[in-house]
Copies of this chain bind each other. A is one copy, B any other.
Amino acid sequence: MDMHDLTRSLIAKNDSKIVMLVADGLGGLPMTPGGKTELETAKTPNLDRIATGAVQGASIPVKPGIAPGSGPGHLGLFGYDPLQYQIGRGALEATGIGFPLQAGDVAIRCNFCTLGPDGNISDRRAGRISSEDSAPIAISLRAIKIPGVEIFVEPVKEHRFVVVFRGPGLGGEVNDTDPQATGVPPLDPVARDEASKKTAEVAKEFLKQARVILKGQSKANFHTMRGFAAKPNMPSYEDVYGLRAAAIAVYPMYKGLAHLVGMKIIGSAQTLDEQIDVLEKAWDDYDFFFIHFKYTDSTGEDGNFDAKVKRIEEVDAIMPRIEKLSPTVLIVTGDHSTPSFMQSHSWHPVPTLLASHCCRPDHHTAFNETTCITGGLGQFEAKYLMLLALSNAGRMGKFGA
């Protein structure tokens, strides 16, 4: 049985409030054998106090041993099996810049490239053109018009931009035009299925007009198209959980991921403090709040153990403001681990805390990688966290009589 069919059938509505605070890349490793992790090193009096009356566990983002990107990491936390719901590269790139994809859209990652006089690619990244130089060139492509299709062109960074086609009958199964080599011409867009033939035709016309517009450019005189992807077909939070859900995030990628599952993106906070301001203001209007904090991940990616410790302490310091709102269920977790030691996302289970009046607290009085292993939630796949959130909020009826 599909888990969402199950949750749909058990939805019970009430006035409860669920807060899920995601400290990105929360889990870590010691820098030296026998040492402490970032979370174990950080002074977290508030989280430890909450842990004393809460239940904790170790969340496995996808499956044991699988290190996820932000996409699968968050889909799991949102309760969408990340192996079932895969976001194509183009859709993820569009999501990453916060582009609100609609059902039926096809998103494409584009790279400016340099064509030599012979028409062959001489540089697949247009001399790594700067963002300042490339953005206006990308925007110049908005002049392209194709009947029956709405077209969006969004600059990303350096040689990269995103194109989105919107219109009826557009499939996402089209091959890359990037030949992955220089000294050869770009490829034509070729559909891999019947439903994507129109997309391939539209892409061909787009490239034809782009070639004319870009002709005069010295570096970026053409572009390739890669990772064609339709918007993934994901049921909404409202549909599967009966929740009015809001996302309070700073970075476009996380707003985009929340948008994919139908959360409303609220506020324009730039700091964690401002995010909590937004939370306070919107408190009465939503049932579920996803709060995303990026810097526990970015400091880990930088290999900056001390900075990650400080960022964790920043999360800890904000907790009383959230507690003051008396959420029915308060969850603190991460979408994956990002150990400073590895300077990358990893597969290690993520410390996860759940507080509610009926959570069956475990015996722990601290919250970290060591305690969570023997916490009351045990080790569990992230995709089950929303079920726990809903039941702790009294929002899920009994299964079967």
- List chain A positions with a Cβ less than 8 A from chain B: 1, 3, 6, 10, 29-30, 33-34, 37, 53, 58, 62-73, 82-84, 86-87, 89, 92, 96, 339, 341-342, 344-349, 358, 360-363, 369-370, 373-380, 384, 386-392, 396-401
Give complex CA distance A386, B65 in Å: 8
A71 closest partner in B (C-beta): B400
Chain B residues near A84: list those with CB within 8 A: 1
Give complex CA distance A177, B1 in Å: 27
The residue among A362, A376, A384, A396 with the most chain B CB atoms within 10 A of its own CB is A376
The residue among A347, A374, A379, A388 with the most chain B CB atoms within 10 A of its own CB is A347
Chain B residues near A387: list those with CB within 8 A: 63-66, 347
Chain B residues near A63: list those with CB within 8 A: 3, 384, 387
Which 4 pairs show the lowest CB-CB distances between chains A and B? A65-B387, A378-B379, A69-B400, A64-B384
Give complex CA distance A390, B400 in Å: 27
Chain B residues near A361: list those with CB within 8 A: 30, 33-34
A65 closest partner in B (C-beta): B387
Chain B residues near A344: list those with CB within 8 A: 398
Give complex CA distance A251, B358 in Å: 29
Q: A71-B401, A341-B358 are in contact. Are A390 and B65 (CB under 8 A)?
A: yes
Q: A83-B6, A347-B391, A370-B363 are in contact. Are A68 and B358 (CB under 8 A)?
A: no
Give complex CA distance A12, B53 in Å: 43
Q: Is the CB of A345 within 8 A of B398?
A: yes
A375 closest partner in B (C-beta): B373
Give complex CA distance A156, B357 in Å: 37
A358's partner among B29, B374, B400 (CB-CB below 8 A) is B29
Query: Closest approach, in angstroms, between the C-beta of A373 and any C-beta of chain B?
Result: 6
A66's partner among B6, B69, B71, B392 (CB-CB below 8 A) is B6
Q: Is the CB of A1 within 8 A of B83?
A: yes
Query: Closest approach, in angstroms, between the C-beta of A148 and any C-beta of chain B?
Result: 31
Q: Is the CB of A72 within 8 A of B363?
A: no
Q: Is the CB of A388 within 8 A of B58?
A: no
Give complex CA distance A33, B357 in Å: 8
A72's partner among B83, B347, B396, B399 (CB-CB below 8 A) is B399
Query: Closest approach, in angstroms, between the C-beta of A199 and any C-beta of chain B?
Result: 22
Give complex CA distance A369, B370 in Å: 19
Q: Is the CB of B378 within 8 A of A67?
A: no
Q: A384-B64, A387-B65, A396-B67 are in contact. Are A369 and B360 (CB under 8 A)?
A: yes
Chain B residues near A362: list those with CB within 8 A: 370, 373
Q: Is the CB of A68 within 8 A of B33?
A: no
A58's partner among B37, B378, B398 (CB-CB below 8 A) is B378
Give complex CA distance A376, B347 in Å: 13
Chain B residues near A92: list those with CB within 8 A: 400-401
A370 closest partner in B (C-beta): B363
Q: Is the CB of B401 within 8 A of A69?
A: yes
Chain B residues near A339: list those with CB within 8 A: 358, 360
Q: Is the CB of A66 within 8 A of B358?
A: no
A380 closest partner in B (C-beta): B64
- Can you give 24 contacting A-B residue pairs, CB < 8 Å? A1-B84, A1-B86, A3-B63, A29-B358, A34-B53, A63-B384, A64-B388, A65-B386, A65-B387, A66-B396, A69-B399, A69-B400, A69-B401, A70-B400, A82-B399, A82-B400, A92-B400, A92-B401, A96-B401, A339-B360, A342-B358, A345-B398, A347-B387, A349-B378
